[in-house]
Structure 1
Amino acid sequence: MNTREKFSSRLGFLLISAGCAVGLGNVWRFPYITGQYGGAAFVLIYLVFLVLLGLPIMTMEYSVGRASQKSAARSFEELEPEGTKWHFIKLVPLVGNYMLMMFYTTVGGWMLAYFFKTAAGSLSGKNAQQINASFSGFLASPSQQVLWMLVVTVIGFFICSRGLRNGVEKISKYMMGALFLVMIVLVVHSFLLSGAKEGLAFYLIPDFGRALEHYSLGEIIFAALGQAFFTLSLGIGALAIFGSYIGKDHSLVSESLNVVVLDTLVALFSGLIIFPACFTYNIDAGSGPGLIFVTLPATFNEMAGGRVWGSLFFAFMAFAALTTIIAVFENIVAFAMDFGWTRKKAVAVNAVVVILLSLPCALGFNLLSGFQPFGAGSTVQDLEDFIVSNTLLPLGSLLYLLFCTYRYGWGWKNYSQEVNSGKGLKLPNWTKGYISYVLPLIVIFILVDGYLEKLGFPANYLLPVFCLIYPGYLMVQSYMVHRKKKKL
């Protein structure tokens, strides 16, 4: 008898899925990378890739989850053809979810800590230099780093311990509702700033001339491609678990599109919050990660009621981080439950495991600061982030693509039947060529590009290289089809 938990409503599924996708990539990375690459022109390219790249892979994670009724730890075993070894794919999601939380819990702790610091007024009256020194001191304190990591980890696993409906779904609804409410209040406030017109023009009106002043078109395209890919955290089965918790009433194209829209709204609204402030107070919109913890807190100190607006902003950031942490923790708990553990045991054991695994990152800015894997100034977090973002996400996405389209895997027929089950938008059959042949190539682009960048090669070197590789890729595919027909 199937006793698998189910969401109490479709809204619960959409909000927790969006909560998993909505994270620091939306509200932290997206604004500053948009500023770096010229504003609206980058946003336009990003949105195109979000649909062309993110949406199809998301449908695959949901399809594998819903068809198998298992987490990524067991789903491939349920669906693979007899005698094949596709179940080894599960190693990527298993490693990926734990490794993502190894640094995400620490950064989530920063957001929560800065909400309380801002609300308490400990940053009030300080200039940018003083706030920078305060942030540096915060990172250098092992006790503060471990404390806030522990707080978000305990909160996340406590919510998971309450179950899918009474814990994860219920709290995620409240958190996502609060996130959108705070976001709307902040957007309205930003629209009233004196530099709002200039900030919105930079953000919403494409100017490729401005975008090309500092970067080539190839670099901008690859940056947009990477952001569109990484923002949804695809490839490690983080979304697949929620596919296993829903019925077949609605097509997975419709469900995926709804989640992508919610995720994109949060990213776009974060820009609407930040860019008017940047142009009002002459802030470099492309100033990098420090924009959130140094530049903006100094800006809030110059605003009327800045302590309130700063507190709301970091509440927004904390909600975005916590929704992702809760969703991924649920995935980790589901891994153990699929192997026969009770929820209580899965939560208790994994809470300890995640805390221990998170310690290197929390201590990487202080006690372990001597470990600099990518050279001077790099940290444990940089290494963990690189392994997840530049290796496990694209590798896992490539494996999902092959599993769902390759004739010796689950196959296009099974995938298309599952993704189209239910009412709503359907996946057109003409997309088979693009999804089967072109999309894997794009993911390989991203995977290779991440390593080339670390070696100092510009992204635009990749295009001519892959133009040479692609015909060979098609020839291999044609050969495999011919070989299959010959056997028949």
Structure 2
Amino acid sequence: MKKRESFNNRWGFILACIGSAVGMGNLWMFPTRVSMYGGGSYLLPYFIFVALIGFTGVIGEMSFGRATKSGPVDAFGTACEMRGHKKIGRILGYIPVLGSLAMAIGYTVVMGWILKYMIGSFTGSTLAPADADGFGTEFGSMATSFGNNLWQIIALGIGFVILVFGVNLGIELANKIMMPVFFCLFVILGIYVAFQPGAINGYKYIFQIEPKALADPKTWIFALGQAFFSLSVAGNGTLIYGSYLSDEEDIPAAAGRVALFDTLAALLAALVIIPAMATTGARLNQGGPGLMFIYLPALFKSMPGGYLIAIIFFVAVFFAGLSSLINLYEAPIATVQELFHLDRMVSCGIIAIIALAISLCIQGIVSGWMDLLSIYICPLGAGLAGVMFFWVCGQKYVETQVNTGRTKRFTGKFLPVCKYIYCPICLLVLILGIILGGIG
């Protein structure tokens, strides 16, 4: 049997996990929600939920993957085999795998947009429109059916070039380059914005706590959604990266680092975007693609050195998006390898063809596509992984796997918190998402 690939070292694994977590949610949603839900009043519950999910769901999915040395299909099958129902587990394992593939396909469309704007920031076309209406028209013409084919194909190709090289020379090496560069570029942007007139008002707002906002249930609901989706608990990406992890790795410590750096990335984005908006006297109340492709380019154009700022920003965003994209595609690629015993290049080719065909066809409906997945499939996948590991596998198995690689035994409260708080939270995220039309 061919030996399974693994990460070369601890920081290679951690940077890959950080890359999977740092994505568009950090960049175009987190700053908006900080602005809309009371600044520090939103940050307080957000930090609480990051700590809770990081030390339950993230640890669980990493440990589950490492224990089974497989993707979701075989992992769920292994769990249910302990109860005599392996086939049921394998069938359920296809839910997070297909969810990961569908999410990656939607993300491919967004990466095509980002790549076009990144290249355009160098050529000058990104900042060419005269005003906000012009930026909106430009984005609108791109975000239509078959409106950005070339750049989307190139973005997909870049992702699969990395994936073909496997875990060590592909995923790990790429994230060792992209994640440090991402953080350095955003620090540069943060320093630049700090010296702009009026930026101080943005900082004041970010860290002030408003009792009224803190008492608003929506502040807590959307902080929960942000933390849940930002940490990439969906029963696929974190689990598959965990399967490439050695038994020497201390998973609770690794999960803590991933949660910390993911939170730092989100805070960096807020510390750049909210004060930048404050320099114009505006309050950020528009998230999603509109923020990144309409309002921020218009803002950059009005700022001194806007041409250079646009380059730095879109290069950083491209690296953040690409690191998430390769994580999303890895679960279905690994599943094809496991099920059909194919080599990596062939498995990548199969998934790439599927992704290319579907992603080109959904350009005009990608927003609804991603909403459907985030509302239903992601929390369902996370919940299934949680139930499989924390409930089906049993206490002895869970505690053994979580404590493998540790010098000191992890807290005995871990399993009860996971079973009775984290798993119900997955169900709560699903229900709230259905009621509110999405909270991620």
Please report the TM-score for the alignment, with normalisation by the length of structure 1: 0.85
Name the aligned partner's letter for residue 202 of structure 1: Y
Counterpart contact for 2:109–2:366, Cα < 8 Å = no
2:424 to 441, 453, 470: 441
Pair 393,54 (structure 1): closer, same or farther in 2 beyond 3 Å:
farther
Question: Secondary structure in 1 aligned to 2:399?
Answer: helix
Counterpart contact for 2:54–2:256, Cα < 8 Å = no
Q: In 1, Cα distance between the equivalents of 2:259 and 2:187?
A: 19
Q: In 2, Cα distance between the equivalents of 1:230 and 1:6?
A: 25
2:399 to 402, 416, 420: 416
Q: In 1, Cα distance between the equivalents of 2:227 and 2:282?
A: 25
Counterpart contact for 1:156–1:326, Cα < 8 Å = yes
Q: In 2, Cα distance between the equivalents of 1:310 and 1:296?
A: 9
Question: Secondary structure in 1 aligned to 2:347?
Answer: helix
> Where does residue 70 of structure 1 map in the other structure?
70
> Where does residue 52 of structure 2 map in the other structure?
52
> Where does residue 236 of structure 1 map in the other structure?
235
1:440 positional shift: 2.2
1:245 positional shift: 1.0
Name the aligned partner's letter for residue 244 of structure 1: S
Matched, 1:137 2:141: yes
Q: In 1, Cα distance between the equivalents of 2:132 and 2:18?
A: 34
Name the aligned partner's letter for residue 445 of structure 1: L
> Where does residue 151 of structure 1 map in the other structure?
154
Pair 188,241 (structure 1): closer, same or farther in 2 beyond 3 Å:
same
Q: In 1, Cα distance between the equivalents of 2:90 and 2:316?
A: 38
- Within a 5 Å distance, the mapping from 1:44-443 to structure 2 comes to 44-80=44-80, 81-84=82-85, 85-122=88-125, 123-124=127-128, 126-140=130-144, 142=146, 144-209=147-212, 211=213, 217-289=216-288, 290-339=290-339, 340-362=341-363, 364=364, 380-406=365-391, 409-423=392-406, 426-443=409-426
Please report the TM-score for the alignment, with normalisation by the length of structure 2: 0.94
Pair 254,426 (structure 1): closer, same or farther in 2 beyond 3 Å:
farther
Question: Secondary structure in 2 aligned to 1:240?
Answer: helix
Counterpart contact for 1:253–1:424, Cα < 8 Å = no
1:138 positional shift: 2.1
1:26 positional shift: 0.8
1:82 positional shift: 5.0
Name the aligned partner's letter for residue 165 of structure 1: N
1:432 positional shift: 3.0
Question: Secondary structure in 1 aligned to 2:424?
Answer: helix
Name the aligned partner's letter for residue 183 of structure 2: F
Question: Secondary structure in 1 aligned to 2:282?
Answer: coil
Pair 424,46 (structure 1): closer, same or farther in 2 beyond 3 Å:
farther
Counterpart contact for 1:35–1:285, Cα < 8 Å = yes
Q: In 1, Cα distance between the equivalents of 2:192 and 2:357?
A: 41
Counterpart contact for 1:199–1:279, Cα < 8 Å = yes
Q: In 1, Cα distance between the equivalents of 2:336 and 2:411?
A: 36
Question: Secondary structure in 1 aligned to 2:84?
Answer: coil
Q: In 2, Cα distance between the equivalents of 1:11 and 1:54?
A: 17
1:331 positional shift: 2.4
Name the aligned partner's letter for residue 35 of structure 2: G
Pair 5,454 (structure 1): closer, same or farther in 2 beyond 3 Å:
closer
Question: Secondary structure in 2 aligned to 1:27?
Answer: helix
1:89 positional shift: 2.4
Q: In 2, Cα distance between the equivalents of 1:13 and 1:133?
A: 41
Counterpart contact for 1:65–1:244, Cα < 8 Å = yes
1:236 positional shift: 3.2
Give ranges in structure 1 of 5+ residues lacking alignment.
Answer: 365-379, 460-488
Counterpart contact for 1:106–1:148, Cα < 8 Å = no
Q: Deviations over 1:154-178 (max 9, x none)?
A: 1111111122211221122111121
How large is the RMSD of aligned CA atoms in angstroms?
1.9
1:283 positional shift: 2.6
Q: In 2, Cα distance between the equivalents of 1:36 and 1:267?
A: 15
Q: In 2, Cα distance between the equivalents of 1:331 and 1:442?
A: 24
1:297 positional shift: 0.9
Counterpart contact for 1:54–1:232, Cα < 8 Å = yes
Q: In 2, Cα distance between the equivalents of 1:221 and 1:410?
A: 32
Pair 140,71 (structure 1): closer, same or farther in 2 beyond 3 Å:
closer
Q: In 2, Cα distance between the equivalents of 1:229 and 1:71?
A: 21
Counterpart contact for 2:122–2:311, Cα < 8 Å = yes
Q: In 2, Cα distance between the equivalents of 1:326 and 1:196?
A: 35
Q: 4+ runs of 1 displaced by more than 4 Å?
A: none
Identity of aligned residues (%): 30
Pair 399,36 (structure 1): closer, same or farther in 2 beyond 3 Å:
same
Between structure 1 and structure 2, the one with the greater Rg is 1
Q: In 1, Cα distance between the equivalents of 2:55 and 2:407?
A: 15
1:412 positional shift: 2.4
Q: In 1, Cα distance between the equivalents of 2:316 and 2:413?
A: 41
Q: Deviations over 1:459-482 (max 9, x none)?
A: 9xxxxxxxxxxxxxxxxxxxxxxx
Question: Secondary structure in 2 aligned to 1:338?
Answer: helix
1:124 positional shift: 3.8
Q: Deviations over 1:244-282 (max 9, x none)?
A: 111122321111111111111111100011111111112
Matched, 1:37 2:37: yes
Q: In 1, Cα distance between the equivalents of 2:413 and 2:78?
A: 28
Name the aligned partner's letter for residue 143 of structure 2: L
Name the aligned partner's letter for residue 226 of structure 1: G
Pair 425,204 (structure 1): closer, same or farther in 2 beyond 3 Å:
farther
Name the aligned partner's letter for residue 169 of structure 1: E
Question: Secondary structure in 1 aligned to 2:73?
Answer: coil
Pair 354,91 (structure 1): closer, same or farther in 2 beyond 3 Å:
same
Q: In 1, Cα distance between the equivalents of 2:144 and 2:52?
A: 42
